[in-house]
Structure 1
Amino acid sequence: MNTASAELKPPTSGATITMGKDGLNVPNNPIIPFIEGDGIGRDIWRASVRVFDAAVERAYGGERKIEWYEVLAGEKAHNATGSWLPDETLKAFETYLVGIKGPLTTPVGGGIRSLNVALRQQLDLYTCLRPVQYFTGVPSPVKHPEKTDMVIFRENS
């Protein structure tokens, strides 16, 4: 990775999600890093953040609010720092435990690997969980679709 920096700073308000013995300890105002993404990622992010914020508002009646922290990867990172995946981005995901990313460009040529693979490997994200359940009213070729309730574990490294 690269130590070049775009001088992004976490929000002045908000708190870090921590890991307790029973799982995540999520404060009322968690700081969550995000990578906007490349190409259509910018448009997806603008719409998504509104949905996330509205869902939190609706679920918690204003008692909780996400403090978003932009970190860089992909084209935006390369243009700002010269690195496709800056060290400070990895550090932010390690520090805050929960993050979200948009689609990233995989640079062509020069022996650069997929940024998605690099993120998974650097952060030890070895499992892709895919819950599968039936939604009432949706046509299905399965004889008893209402009994469908499973989780698919896909090895991700």
Structure 2
Amino acid sequence: MENKQHFKLAVIPGDGIGKEVINEGIRVLEFLSTQSNSKFTFETDYFPWGCEYYLENGKMMADDGLEKIEDHDAIYFGAVGFPGVPDHISLWGLRIAICQNFDQWANIRPVEFLPGVKSKLNHPEKEKLNWVLIRENTEGEYSGIGGRNFTGRGARKEVAVQSSLFTEEGCERVIRYAFETALKRDRKKVTSVTKSNAQQYGMVLWDEVFARVSKEYPDVETDQWLVDAMAANFVLRPEELEVVVASNLLADILSDLGSALAGSLGIAASANLNPDRRFPSMFEAVHGSAPDIAGEGIANPIGAIGSAALMLEHLGLKEEAVLVNQAIKDATQSGFLTADIGGNTSTKEMTDSILQQLSNIYEKA
């Protein structure tokens, strides 16, 4: 009997260009399903949460939002943020609420230099650069612990306290994930990034856990850097990077730097994983909602489509994930580039070109 797979996706387009690029990713998923003769299919449940929802309801998602999406196989997320809603409200009310409550503790952000895309990095062998940043995704600097007080003392007397939380369990599981990721790569290397000279408690704990776990992986090369030196290395010694693991804030910043060096945040994909699979994982492009270009049809869908590829891999459709990533490379190499990467291809045309490259791959198979 033919084995068929049916995947139920919770789709949260969010705000701005999130609504545009998420639809392009769905087009790619539906194309792949058709090519498989429906051996695998996708059911999409859309949820209208985001800043518009907040302005109407005073909250970023429904009160029972987590329960509504908990039984899905994966979450496909667009972007969040729009003028009129403070960024800390939009972020904590939706994306971080999902990441923390579903214990999506490993954030995966590949950095790849696509052919045909003019990068900001002057390196003789850019096409060989291929990094992956692994970000601790539920604690660290984004733990949300702290508060504001003393407003009663008068003007300019208020105090704000923001605490970072580092647990040994949280450090170990993401560091171990980085080592397991390195074992699957040609060059087996993990770089740990902290600021432990200044953050003498939480990040020293991280360093100690990294040292302990590394002993269990004698075949994996390791090094450790402070984040300021690491930022310089992204530019000066990019050939030394393979798997980079860091805390919530530091990896967030470094991954944006990496994607900018590769040409644009518009090409950057990411996955918020619950590797234990107790909850659904969430897949989203790294870029924001870009309200300045929303509705113009020029947003780059590559980040969202690349995130769909990460979702396919997570769902066990590894061959299809490889095909999507290859089609993206073939499309950019053929000169299909959106405005953010130096071209004039529209959002829809960019996806059309990727679908055409997928068609070409299937015809040759």
Q: Which residue of 2 aligns with 1:28?
A: 5
> So what's the TM-score if we normalise by structure 1?
0.61
Q: Which residue of 2 aligns with 1:91?
A: 67
What does 1:130-149 correspond to in 2, within 5 Å? Answer: 130-131=109-110
Q: Is the 8 A contact 2:81 2:90 kept in 1?
A: no
What is the CA distance between 1:146 and its match in structure 2? 8.2
Match of 1:129 among 102, 108, 111: 108
Q: Quote the Cα distance in structure 1 between the aligned partners of 2:115 and 2:20.
A: 31
Unmatched runs of 5 consecutive residues or more in structure 1: 1-26
Report the identity percentage. 24
What does 1:1-157 correspond to in 2, within 5 Å? Answer: 28-58=5-35, 60-78=36-54, 81-105=57-81, 107-108=85-86, 112=89, 114=91, 115-131=94-110, 151-157=132-138
Q: Quote the Cα distance in structure 1 between the aligned partners of 2:113 and 2:58.
A: 46
Q: Is the 8 A contact 1:73 1:104 kept in 2?
A: no
Query: 1:58-102 CA distances to partner (integer Å, 9 max, x unpaired)?
Result: 2x2222221100123212433564421223332233221411111
What is the CA distance between 1:128 and its match in structure 2? 0.9
Q: Quote the Cα distance in structure 2 between the aligned partners of 1:49 and 1:105.
A: 21
Q: Is the 8 A contact 1:35 1:71 kept in 2?
A: yes
Q: Quote the Cα distance in structure 2 between the aligned partners of 1:113 and 1:49.
A: 24
Letter in 2 for 1:68: T
> So what's the TM-score if we normalise by structure 2?
0.30
CA RMSD of aligned residues (A): 3.3
Instruction: State which drifts further: 30-39 or 99-108.
Output: 99-108
| Structure ID, larger Rg | 2
> 1 or 2, which has the higher helix percentage?
2
Unmatched runs of 5 consecutive residues or more in structure 2: 139-365
Q: Quote the Cα distance in structure 2 between the aligned partners of 1:43 and 1:133.
A: 23
Q: Quote the Cα distance in structure 1 between the aligned partners of 2:13 and 2:123.
A: 38
Paired residues in the alignment total 129
Q: Quote the Cα distance in structure 2 between the aligned partners of 1:150 and 1:74.
A: 31
Q: Quote the Cα distance in structure 1 between the aligned partners of 2:123 and 2:89.
A: 43
